[in-house]
Amino acid sequence: QVQLVGLDEESSEFICRNTFDHPYPTTKLMWIPDTKGVYPDLLATSGDYLRVWRVGETETRLECLLNNNKNSDFCAPLTSFDWNEVDPYLLGTSSIDTTC
């Protein structure tokens, strides 16, 4: 599972804002770079695949799952990724099998 926490400013304590199931341990989580606040709240996670989640007030749902695996018998886990700050439609990934 992944838990999204936030700071309750009145009590100065962290509270769980949202929880969602993630089928494989995450290697990295990253919010969409959005300095102007024009994009929806998107969160990307890497693990077995790259997943993009839409985060709402009450639920988080899978927006898309990106799989570039050519061989269905084996999946090389993703070790990291980064979101392009200039063009948020682009993400780069790296894998344990040394591919990017």
pLDDT bucket at 58, cuts 50 / 70 / 90: confident
pLDDT bucket at 70, cuts 50 / 70 / 90: low
Domain membership of residue 70 (yes or no) is yes
- Find the domain containing 46 and state its range: 24-89
Domain count, the chain: 1
Domain membership of residue 8 (yes or no) is no
Q: Closest Cα to residue 41, out of 51, 29, 56?
A: 56
Domain membership of residue 9 (yes or no) is no
Domain membership of residue 68 (yes or no) is yes
Cα separation, 4 vs 55, in Å, equals 10
Cα separation, 1 vs 47, in Å, equals 12
Can you give the pTM of this predicted structure?
A: 0.85
Domain membership of residue 99 (yes or no) is no
